[in-house]
Amino acid sequence: MRTSVLRMLVLGCALVLAAPSFALGKEKGAGGRRAGALGPVEEALAKLELTAQQKTKIEECKTKFNDYVRASQEELKAGRKDNDPAKRRQAVKGLAEKRQELMDGIRAVLTDEQKKKFDEAMPKPAARGKGGAKGKPKAGGTVTQ
């Protein structure tokens, strides 16, 4: 009797602890994977009523962007492997430029009303702070705030 009660208690605890993991998996893309770089763009585009022609042109823009991302991943890996910050910075800068080209390409095929809805649906960039660890002493022993 005691062992069955103990088993039930352990099983109940396991279910309670596992539930949040399953809930988190549903918020991500298919199979619990993250949606990737185009996730927010895809979500914003899904809220628009696009014509077949618009969809085709947007897919072309996304394909160009994805091809560039695949190629630049090799540059990023090489920069990490060589411990070369300049290579990494260049690759990240290129990605930012291509992402802007993608956004410009998408916006070019949208109507004014669609552009407004698209912009509203896109997540706002996170506020960037000054960076650095506040309150840590510098080499001279002074604390910066």
Examine residue 79 and state whether it is found in any structural domain, yes or no. Answer: yes
* Domains of the chain: total: 2
Instruction: Specify whether 51 is located in the same domain as 15.
Output: no
Instruction: Specify whether 33 is located in the same domain as 55.
Output: no
Instruction: Specify whether 18 is located in the same domain as 83.
Output: no
Instruction: Specify whether 83 is located in the same domain as 117.
Output: yes
Q: What angle do CA 136, 140, 143 make, to 5 degrees?
A: 30
Instruction: Specify whether 94 is located in the same domain as 32.
Output: no
Q: Domain span at residue 59? A: 38-122
Instruction: Specify whether 25 is located in the same domain as 69.
Output: no
DSSP 78-145: HHHHTT-HHHHHHHHHHHHHHHHHHHHHHHHHS-HHHHHHHHHHSPPPPPP---S-TT-B-TTSPBP-
Instruction: Specify whether 107 is located in the same domain as 59.
Output: yes
Instruction: Specify whether 74 is located in the same domain as 111.
Output: yes
Examine residue 59 and state whether it is found in any structural domain, yes or no. Answer: yes
Examine residue 61 and state whether it is found in any structural domain, yes or no. Answer: yes
| pLDDT, position 27 | 43
Instruction: Specify whether 51 is located in the same domain as 20.
Output: no
Examine residue 54 and state whether it is found in any structural domain, yes or no. Answer: yes
Instruction: Specify whether 15 is located in the same domain as 81.
Output: no
pLDDT digits (tens, 9 = 90+) for 54-94: 999 999 999 998 888 888 887 777 777 778 778 778 878 88
pLDDT digits (tens, 9 = 90+) for 22-49: 343 334 444 444 456 678 889 989 989 9
| pLDDT, position 53 | 95
Cβ distance 88 to 76 under 8 Å? Answer: yes
Cβ distance 62 to 102 under 8 Å? Answer: yes
pLDDT digits (tens, 9 = 90+) for 7-26: 655 544 444 444 443 343 33
Instruction: Specify whether 32 is located in the same domain as 17.
Output: yes
Examine residue 127 and state whether it is found in any structural domain, yes or no. Answer: no
Instruction: Specify whether 52 is located in the same domain as 111.
Output: yes
